[in-house]
């Protein structure tokens, strides 16, 4: 279980993220929504331990992430950031195998048969097994994104942090990859926290959604309603319209239709 308790952070002197609290259970897929610059990526960086919060605490299964060694942290937290290293001279399979690094023991680190099986399954989960021998630099943006997602799955961490995971993915791949990640989290009791730009994708895939605006938490996702026109207005400061497709409520900015 992931608990975020009253964390605050700032890049310069003025407080930016202020008093953020929310929690995410094992197996839960939690979305973060908010406009550009609202602090979504900053929050992901705090959750991953990349940035240090000033006050409050972030706990995984009751333990503060600040007390983990870097190796422990890698077994607990996997992160797909917005800025991935792009053209390292590794094959896709090698990139995914880096996800197993924190699980290797002993002085001579080597991959076991189990590791190879996990790497293979992780490549299959994002439908990227066919790219395994290709160098990362030879792949398209969407193909690379799938390799990085496979690496996160191979890492088998308790918490998986994704910053706009469906970026670069075409619509077919988007749906299948998000479904796979959701299934994987449920089946293996992993917690996923993911930033989304598309409110409808977030509403379809997330069990709960937290909302940020200008560094403040507008909604911690604990209410009955996951998404509504009123929440979207407060967060994005624009009018949305609601429509029902296949029994599901979908939301679009009303300016799209003017």
| Residue 39 sits in the site that holds ligand ADP (CB under 6 A) | yes
Q: Which does 36 bind (CB under 5 to 8 A by kind): ligand ADP, Mg ion, none?
A: ligand ADP
How far, in Å, CA of 235 to CA of 245, rounded?
23
How far, in Å, CA of 159 to CA of 124, rounded?
21
How far, in Å, CA of 10 to CA of 199, rounded?
27
* One-character DSSP codes across 153-191: HHHT-SEEEEESTTTT--HHHHHHHHHHHHHHHHHHT-E
Tokens read off for 84 = 């991935």
Q: Using CB under 6 A, which of the segments 37-45, 140-148, 154-162, 225-233 binds ligand ADP?
A: 37-45
Residues 9-28 close enough to bind ligand ADP by CB under 6 A: 11, 16
Q: Which does 8 bind (CB under 5 to 8 A by kind): ligand ADP, Mg ion, none?
A: none
| Residue 165 sits in the site that holds ligand ADP (CB under 6 A) | no
Q: Which does 224 bind (CB under 5 to 8 A by kind): Mg ion, ligand ADP, none?
A: none
CB of residue 37 to ligand ADP, shortest distance in Å: 4
46 versus 154: smaller Cβ distance to ligand ADP: 46
| Residue 54 sits in the site that holds ligand ADP (CB under 6 A) | no
| Residue 167 sits in the site that holds ligand ADP (CB under 6 A) | no
Residue 240: strand, helix, or coil:
strand
Q: Which does 105 bind (CB under 5 to 8 A by kind): ligand ADP, Mg ion, none?
A: none
Q: Which does 11 bind (CB under 5 to 8 A by kind): Mg ion, ligand ADP, none?
A: ligand ADP
Residue 90, Cβ density class (10 Å: 0-12 exposed, 13-18 middle, ≥19 buried): middle
CA distances (Å), origin 146, targets 139, 154, 158 = 10, 12, 20
How far, in Å, CA of 102 to CA of 98, rounded?
8
Q: Using CB under 6 A, which of the segments 29-37, 62-70, 92-100, 123-131 binds ligand ADP?
A: 29-37
Residues that bind ligand ADP (CB under 6 A): 11, 16, 34, 36-42
């Amino acid at each position: 279980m992931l608990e975020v308790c009253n964390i605050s952070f700032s890049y310069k002197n003025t407080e930016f993220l202020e008093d953020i609290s929310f929690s995410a259970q094992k197996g839960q897929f939690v979305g973060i929504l908010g406009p550009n610059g609202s602090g979504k990526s900053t929050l992901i960086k705090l959750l991953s331990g990349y940035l240090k919060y000033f006050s409050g605490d972030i706990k995984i299964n009751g333990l503060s992430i600040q007390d983990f060694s870097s190796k422990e942290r890698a077994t607990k937290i996997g992160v797909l950031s917005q800025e991935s290293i792009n053209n390292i001279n590794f094959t896709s399979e090698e990139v995914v195998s880096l996800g197993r690094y924190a699980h290797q023991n002993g002085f001579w680190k080597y991959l076991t048969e189990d590791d190879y099986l996990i790497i293979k399954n992780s490549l299959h989960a994002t439908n990227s097994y066919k790219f395994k021998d290709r160098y990362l630099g030879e792949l398209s943006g969407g193909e690379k994104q799938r390799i990085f997602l496979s690496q996160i799955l191979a890492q088998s961490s308790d918490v998986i942090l994704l910053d706009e995971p469906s970026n670069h993915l075409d619509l077919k791949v988007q749906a299948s990859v998000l479904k796979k990640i959701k299934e994987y989290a449920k089946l293996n009791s992993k917690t996923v926290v993911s930033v989304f730009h598309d409110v409808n994708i977030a509403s379809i895939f997330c069990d709960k959604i937290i909302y940020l605006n200008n560094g403040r938490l507008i909604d911690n996702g604990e209410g009955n309603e996951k998404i509504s026109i009123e929440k979207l207005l407060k967060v994005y400061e624009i009018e949305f319209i609601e429509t029902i497709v296949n029994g599901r409520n979908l939301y679009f900015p009303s300016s799209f239709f003017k």
